[in-house]
Amino acid sequence: MTDASLRPKSSILRFVTSFGQAPLDYGRRFWLRLMVAVTFVLLYAPIATLIAFSFNDSKRNIVWKGFTLKYYAVAWNNASLVEAFYNSLAIAVMCTILSTIIGSMVALLLWRFQFPGKSAYEGFMTLPIVIPEICMGVAMLAFFARVGWPVGMPWPLNLSAITIAHVAFAFPFVAVVVRSRMAGFNRELEEASKDLGASEWQTFWNVIFPYMKPGIIAGALLAFTLSLDDFVITFFTSGPDTITFPVKVYSLVRRGVSPDINAASTALIVITVVATIFAMKLQAPEKQG
Amino acid sequence: MSKPIVSIRNITKRFPGVIAVDDVNFDIMENEFFALLGPSGCGKTTLLRMIAGFETPSEGEIVIDGQDMAMTPPNERPVNMVFQSYAVFPHMTVSQNVAYGLKVTGTPSAEIKTRVSEALEMVQLEHLGGRKPDQLSGGQRQRVALARALVKRPKVLLLDEPLSALDAKLRESMQLELAHLQQSVGITFIIVTHDQDEALSMADRIAVMHQGAVQQIAPPDGLYESPSSRFVADFIGKVNLFDGKVTGNRGKSINVDIAGLGKLSLPFDGPVPNEISLAVRPEKIRLSKQKPSGKGMMASGRVADWAYYGDTSHMYVETKNGLRISVTIQNESRDTVDSVDVGDSVWVTWRAEDTLPLTE
């Protein structure tokens, strides 16, 4: 047997095989792999550096001087930073509860009912997702100034303005997530429940709500992370005694990046990433038998 | 005769732009296995959903067990339904699914336990009580839906195309099983189906629906052998339909002339029309190579087409006058298929009394 007999016989086949791999085999091509690597580095190198330098034993934080955990203690002992952290957490928790309730109700309304002007309503409801944050921030500032929103209330009521602003941009995200979850709901399940003798409320809590739940949890975690790290809108609605963590970090950074900010930021990243992973796990499509 | 359990009285249902159900009237008897049969869009499912309470009739009333159901919501009606998608609750186990209907109505938990295990035993799922629906096959999920409805001990069980999602073998065994189940529990079953085999093999009586109206209500053999209209004759099974002219009226019978086939005399009641349709089932027709002797209808022609189905073959014979007659032959021996070929000259014949006059 000669070598020639092993080659593809038809010219068409030779033409096709000359391309080497199938179109979706791009992982095997050098320049595509390089592109992926570069993108990855550009995205994550700054974050990796930030985390690494939170363990750096150097005040000026420019060159690596050795491993330490002391800046976590420094950050922890910085009263105003910790207060800002608590403010952020309190706002995020309140915002999550409120926007989850409002967003789920909006999602149910849009899923369940037909009414005149529904598509316009749906459009306006999701508008905060696309409105530039800076416009939302200015609008919120103007609103609270115009209505004369009380300031100087005891904690956590003094955070109410920021919380309201956060709910305003977070609940549409919850509504969108829950609504897309409900799109897959089989209406016959609801009818089956009623057919078996359940009332409207029993049907809601026993059949509809369990189906909504993963969407609600995913939406809630989304609202939590959005609220926790929001800077622009918060910057416009916060006062001198209602500083949140991102706003505080911004003000500290203006005087130079110190390792304690890195440490605090790392803590925030961990909280956000854990919440996001949790949300994605819950949102993953269910196995259909 | 037993008494009616469900009475449909002058029921009409209008949706914007369509009349789904058009002035329907009939009674369903106690312990009856009743089928609503028709092509898709004929209104059979809408009628079933009105009995269950998921649709409100535009006109007329539905009486179940002597009570007008107009003001009764679905959860208070003495009927239960097996849905087309089975609608088994995905987040509950098999046992929880079956127990659900008892739990929401406040049945004591000891009673729930015994009734659930009874119901699971009835559908042979007693060993799968702890499974989740996504660990079950389609047939098993359907049994769960069945047990979940039967455990409520309804007066009437409604089944919406219950077998359409199953494969052919399973469907056949479930047809038998459903018929046995209905006899053993003694509950009225109302089944909606578009599959005539399903209706013919299971039901005591069948209502054939077309464009929102009931065409005929009869037992399976009555429907097949004595259809009341061209639609029913054509919808149930296969049929040859011929146009005939009435040439004579002799009181209890008429003389009919079928163009290209000849004359025959048929028993007939009622007002006699000038033109009439005549229906003959393909399996009532005999095929022969020589001219048959004896009486009856006969015609000669050529085999134009033929389709093989294993147990039977369908032969299409074209006469000189252009009539196309379909004939079903049993493949009685292994070489039956070889005995006739396309293009062969053949004779077809059938008894005059197997010809059915249809005026509608």
Q: What share of chain A is helix, strand, coil (3-state, %, to 5)?
A: 75, 0, 25
List CB contacts of B114: < 8 A, sequence separation 6 or more. none
Q: How far apart are CA A181 and CA A201, in angstroms?
A: 20
Q: Which range is least confidently modeled, A12-16, A248-252, B54-58?
A: A12-16
Q: How far apart are CA B156 and CA B77, in angstroms?
A: 10
Amino acid at B129: G
Q: How far apart are CA B209 and CA B63, in angstroms?
A: 20
Q: B19 pairs with which residues across the strands?
A: B14
Q: Do A210 and B135 touch (CB under 8 A)?
A: no
Q: Do B73 and A186 touch (CB under 8 A)?
A: no
Q: Do A197 and B87 touch (CB under 8 A)?
A: no
Q: What is the pLDDT of residue A15?
A: 53
In CATH, the number for domain B238-358 is: 2.40.50.100
Nearest to B75 among A189, A199, A287 (CB): A199
Q: How far apart are CA A9 and CA A2, in angstroms?
A: 13
A188 and B CB contact within 8 Å: yes
Q: What is the pLDDT of residue B220?
A: 93
Q: How far A6 CA sits from the closest chain B CA (Å)?
A: 46
A206 and B CB contact within 8 Å: yes
B4-234 CATH, one of 3.90.550.10, 3.40.50.1980, 3.30.70.20, 3.40.50.300: 3.40.50.300
Q: Do B87 and A189 touch (CB under 8 A)?
A: yes
DSSP-derived secondary structure letter, B303: E
Nearest to B134 among A199, A211, A287 (CB): A287
Tell me, what's the ipTM?
Answer: 0.83
The per-residue pLDDT string of chain B (360 residues; one tens digit each, 9 = 90 and over) reads 578 999 999 999 999 989 999 999 999 999 999 999 999 889 999 999 999 999 999 999 999 999 899 889 999 999 999 999 999 999 999 999 999 999 999 999 999 999 999 999 988 898 999 999 999 988 899 999 999 999 999 999 999 998 887 888 888 888 888 888 898 888 999 999 998 888 998 999 999 999 999 999 999 999 999 888 889 999 988 899 888 888 888 778 888 888 777 778 888 877 778 888 889 999 999 888 888 887 778 888 899 988 888 888 888 999 888 888 999 988 888 887 778 888 888 888 888 888 888 887
Contacts of B105 in chain A (CB under 8 A): 197
Spatial contact of A107 and A216, defined as CB atoms under 8 Å apart: no
Q: Do B80 and A193 touch (CB under 8 A)?
A: no
Q: What is the pLDDT of residue A288?
A: 40
B5 and A CB contact within 8 Å: no
Spatial contact of B202 and B191, defined as CB atoms under 8 Å apart: yes
**Which tokens sit at B194?**
């578009």
- Using one digit for the tens of pLDDT, what is the confidence trace for A97-127? 999 999 999 999 999 888 999 999 988 888 8
Nearest to B80 among A195, A199, A207 (CB): A195
What count of Cα atoms within 13 Å lies in the side-chain half-sphere of residue A8? 9
A152: left (phi over 0), alpha (psi -120 to 50) or beta: left
Residue keyed to tokens 């069948």: B206
Burial of A104 (0-12, 13-18, 19+ CB in 10 A): buried
Supply the mean pLDDT for chain A.
Answer: 84
Residue A41 has pLDDT above 80, yes or no: yes
A88 and B CB contact within 8 Å: no
Spatial contact of B22 and B49, defined as CB atoms under 8 Å apart: no
Q: What is the pLDDT of residue A287?
A: 45
DSSP-derived secondary structure letter, B133: G
Q: What are the φ and ψ backbone dihedral angles of B63, each rounded to 5 degrees?
A: -110, 125
List CB contacts of A84: < 8 A, sequence separation 6 or more. A243, A244, A245, A247, A248
List CB contacts of A184: < 8 A, sequence separation 6 or more. none
Q: What share of chain B is helix, strand, coil (3-state, %, to 5)?
A: 30, 35, 35
> CB neighbours (10 Å) of residue B118?
14
Nearest to B87 among A192, A210, A287 (CB): A192
Tell which of A191, A195, A206, A288 to mutate to test the B interface (max B CBs under 10 Å): A195
Q: What is the pLDDT of residue A27?
A: 59
DSSP string, B113-131: HHHHHHHHHHTT-GGGTT-
Q: Do B83 and A192 touch (CB under 8 A)?
A: yes
- Using one digit for the tens of pLDDT, what is the confidence trace for A183-208? 999 999 999 999 999 999 999 999 99
Burial of A106 (0-12, 13-18, 19+ CB in 10 A): buried
Q: Do A195 and B75 touch (CB under 8 A)?
A: yes
Contacts of B101 in chain A (CB under 8 A): 196-198
Tell which of A193, A196, A213, A287 to mutate to test the B interface (max B CBs under 10 Å): A196
Residue keyed to tokens 């934080």: A61
For chain B, helix (H) and strand (E) counts, in that order, are 9, 20
On the question of a common fold for B4-234 and B238-358, the answer reads: no
Q: What is the pLDDT of residue B338?
A: 79
A233 and B CB contact within 8 Å: no
Kindly report whether the peptide bond that precedes residue B133 is cis, defined as omega within 30 degrees of 0: no
Q: How far apart are CA B317 and CA B346, in angstroms?
A: 8
- Please tell me whether residue A289 adopts helix, strand or coil conformation: coil
B152 and A CB contact within 8 Å: yes
Q: What is the pLDDT of residue A2?
A: 45
Give the distance, in angstroms, between the CA of residue B318 and the centroid of all CA atoms in the same chain.
Answer: 31
Nearest to A186 among B85, B100, B152 (CB): B85
Contacts of A191 in chain B (CB under 8 A): 52, 54, 74, 81, 83, 87
What count of Cα atoms within 13 Å lies in the side-chain half-sphere of residue B43? 23
- Please tell me whether residue B88 adopts helix, strand or coil conformation: coil
Q: How far apart are CA B233 and CA B351, in angstroms?
A: 18
Residue whose C-alpha is closest to residue A175's, from A93, A272, A116, A109: A109
The pTM of this model reads 0.79
> How do the domains of chain B map onto residue ranges?
4-234, 238-358
- Interval A235-259 mean pLDDT: 84
Q: Do B87 and A188 touch (CB under 8 A)?
A: yes
Chain B, window 39-98: residues with a beta carbon less than 8 angstroms from a chain A beta carbon = 52, 54, 73-76, 79-81, 83-85, 87, 89-91
What's the CA angle centered on B359, arms B356 and B360, to 5 degrees? 115
- Please tell me whether residue B346 adopts helix, strand or coil conformation: strand
- Interval A151-163 mean pLDDT: 84
Tell which of B79, B82, B88, B100 to mutate to test the A interface (max A CBs under 10 Å): B100
Nearest to A196 among B85, B135, B152 (CB): B152
Q: What is the pLDDT of residue A12?
A: 56
DSSP string, B10-65: EEEEEETTEEEEEEEEEEEETT-EEEEE-STTSSHHHHHHHHHTSS--SEEEEEET
